[in-house]
Structure 1
């Protein structure tokens, strides 16, 4: 009978695929998790992958100081294993001897017995030289906050006063936020059910449908989940339903709609005819799944939101929400692998795509209608840069001013930065089309 793989060996293989082969954290975790039966091992795997992705830029740089020759190219799994070793020592603060011994054993299990000594030597050297190495890493914002250098520079350029706080917030575990489906339950009743199940839960102070739990948990096991009483959604992503202010009887377009959380929130608020457009068929299936669990209904079309000829029937929409494809630099605390996969060269193409989608959707908006442009980006180029250029090109478009309890005004619209009110980073601009 073959021996079950250890959690550290699985974590090293999965982390190498995330950091060095471009796979998403979700994909890598989904492949590895079924191989572990013990819930404690599953929890450790989750921590090693999340913190491994989150702190990779920091510990990857540390390994350049600890190794005489880099091994990330010819031994990527052992390089990733060393990162998990540093995560165990520094982030998870596991007992040093046990963490080092188990990581060395994982090298043997990964059929790299000749590298077990190297793993042991590197981790022991880290323990001996820890203070000096930490000081070197902390001397640069990119390695202090574990951000790729291009992103650290971009944040410092766009948000010079808040840059350090933004990057620090991206490394703090976010709370678990739920959105209560007001068509199925009240916020007070869901909160009471969660409290009765032993969960620490609080009503959000200004988001009407939001509940806050301090830590992540398996939401599928919480009371009310199967019945569609709530969904998981960060508070920043619950703001759009308030700003869009859809009314009964209106036609609503949700462009770039997957996974459908914002569309579902709109449908929970008002009786509207909602069209959800999503480019990828697999992601469109997730919209349908979420609608079904929450007992909601919408029309879903797989298509390019930037080409309205493929999905628009000629009848104008009263409300449009564009959750534009973006760099996702505002949600790194929840999606730490973004910092490993996004590149500076991506931004120009994203801006072009955002501008194309905004222009196409605008043509489907009814006179007097409103369009909400949303991104989960921190970068001004993707946000007020796109919206400002659009407004300058259209005589029939104007920005509607608004404020939120957290965040700050942008040149056009409003920006919430990561950690503002303990929310994810998100940008919003509300536009109105002139009456005919």
Structure 2
């Protein structure tokens, strides 16, 4: 069983990578559908390989294209993805090189491509022989072509325009593995108390002054190891995402709409801050709405949950008016690339204009359902001005009933800090 599962995890990884790069699926979604093919003890390795390949894809492709005179295409394209898996293991995991090569070559049989076993074996062994010179060559060549940033050129262009002084720091943060932030349920524990529970289990952590509920783990752990996780003592939520509920400032007894609410991290945070608020959580995707229910159940909280489209609120809103609305608008997700490195290869430059149109349309439709005197927090996990600052400037210009409260907040991803997030607090006057 052991050998079989290990043999197959390379196949699972290659299949997942194929689904992302050739079929345009998100990595998280494709790993969920392939989950039944992986035994529990192999899940962490599959995640490590798949997310790692997405992080350093231009580097791995450079080695394959240098070593092969002909590109694998069509029905054999999955073997290209298998080679990505093989080279990633050699470079970035502790798996001994001979084992990484052997298991990756064995996976060719499982894929029923036996006639090409020699090709895969040859490329991987040649990579081992030439590894040092190939890595030097990549560094030299990529300096000329901006490849060492491991980002697509369209995104680099936008980052350089928007952040001429900070774009390199953003790129570097995007290329790191993400930190693990927790949100302590302050109805159950003080942050200092929860830190003591973590320390008892030898889990080191640190707090963050600006957000009273936030803890960063020095080394990420599986949620099953977090004290009282199943009892709702804590939720995994990025630092920047934790600002949403505090900026919304919900009060008990208020009618609150959480729009585009899945998977429910912000919904549950609103209810932790104001347990007696009447919260309606809405999302367009039925599969993701299920996650909202799961999170509410774990934290023993109650909200009304609906499947609904932000473009047609009249179909699910029943004429209701809200004191506060959190709109976490659909966006390019360019602020969370380190958590979802496949975004770099799934997004296109042309997507940004389509997304800005969608965001503006949803914001305009949802604004109607905010009471006079009410507050709307517009949020995205993007760092592109088109989706953020420019969006809000346009809305304020075209809607005299909207006033900006305080300053807009654009967080950029930082190595041990939060992800890239944007917030604007709008008041209806």
Structures share fold, TM-score greater than 0.5: yes
The SS at the match of 1:4 is: helix
The Cα shift of 1:36 comes to: 4.0
Q: Which residue, out of 30, 35, 45, partners 1:28?
A: 30
Name whichever of 53-62 and 371-380 sits farther off: 53-62
1:373 equivalenced with 2:378 (yes/no)? yes
Distance 2:137 2:203 in 1: 40
Distance 1:2 1:200 in 2: 33
Return the TM-score normalized by structure 1. 0.90
Distance 1:180 1:23 in 2: 33
The Cα shift of 1:71 comes to: 0.8
The SS at the match of 1:157 is: helix
Return the TM-score normalized by structure 2. 0.92
Equivalent in the alignment of 2:423: 428
1:325 equivalenced with 2:330 (yes/no)? yes
Distance 1:149 1:318 in 2: 43
Name whichever of 302-311 and 371-380 sits farther off: 302-311
1:397 equivalenced with 2:405 (yes/no)? no
Equivalent in the alignment of 1:175: 179
Q: Is the 8 A contact 1:253 1:320 kept in 2?
A: yes
Equivalent in the alignment of 2:194: 190
The SS at the match of 1:182 is: coil
**Taking structure 1 as reference, are residues 9 and 383 closer, same or farther at Cα in structure 2, changes over 3 Å only?**
same
Alignment map for 1:184-223 (pairs within 5 Å)? 184-223=188-227
The Cα shift of 1:399 comes to: 1.2
Equivalent in the alignment of 2:237: 233
Q: Is the 8 A contact 1:58 1:137 kept in 2?
A: no
Alignment map for 1:23-422 (pairs within 5 Å)? 23-37=25-39, 39=41, 41-92=42-93, 94-127=95-128, 128=130, 129-139=133-143, 143-270=147-274, 271-402=276-407, 413-419=408-414, 422=417
The SS at the match of 1:374 is: strand
Distance 2:210 2:302 in 1: 27
Which string of whole-angstrom CA distances, capped at 9 and with x for unpartnered residues, describes residues 129-175 of structure 1?
32343224531565212222222222222222211211111111122
Name whichever of 321-330 and 239-248 sits farther off: 239-248
The Cα shift of 1:420 comes to: 6.6
The Cα shift of 1:190 comes to: 2.3
Distance 2:230 2:297 in 1: 11
Which string of whole-angstrom CA distances, capped at 9 and with x for unpartnered residues, describes residues 343-402 of structure 1?
222112111110011111111112222111000011111111211111110112121224
**Taking structure 1 as reference, are residues 92 and 420 closer, same or farther at Cα in structure 2, changes over 3 Å only?**
closer
Which string of whole-angstrom CA distances, capped at 9 and with x for unpartnered residues, describes residues 36-73 of structure 1?
4472x333222111101222233224423322111143
Distance 1:266 1:68 in 2: 56
Name whichever of 200-209 and 252-261 sits farther off: 200-209
Q: Is the 8 A contact 2:139 2:148 kept in 1?
A: no
The Cα shift of 1:329 comes to: 0.8
Q: Is the 8 A contact 1:324 1:373 kept in 2?
A: yes
Q: How many equivalent residue pairs? A: 423
Distance 2:23 2:58 in 1: 15
Q: Is the 8 A contact 1:306 1:360 kept in 2?
A: yes
Q: What is the root-mean-square deviation in Å for CA atoms of aligned residues?
A: 2.2
Q: Structure 1: any 5+ residue segments left out of the alignment? A: 403-412
**Taking structure 1 as reference, are residues 141 and 297 closer, same or farther at Cα in structure 2, changes over 3 Å only?**
farther
Name whichever of 286-295 and 208-217 sits farther off: 208-217
Distance 1:86 1:257 in 2: 39
The SS at the match of 2:305 is: strand
The Cα shift of 1:18 comes to: 2.3
The SS at the match of 2:349 is: coil
Q: Is the 8 A contact 1:259 1:283 kept in 2?
A: yes
The Cα shift of 1:97 comes to: 3.4
Q: Is the 8 A contact 1:18 1:53 kept in 2?
A: no
Q: Is the 8 A contact 1:141 1:152 kept in 2?
A: no
The Cα shift of 1:265 comes to: 0.6
Q: Is the 8 A contact 2:62 2:138 kept in 1?
A: no
Distance 2:415 2:43 in 1: 31
Distance 1:392 1:227 in 2: 46
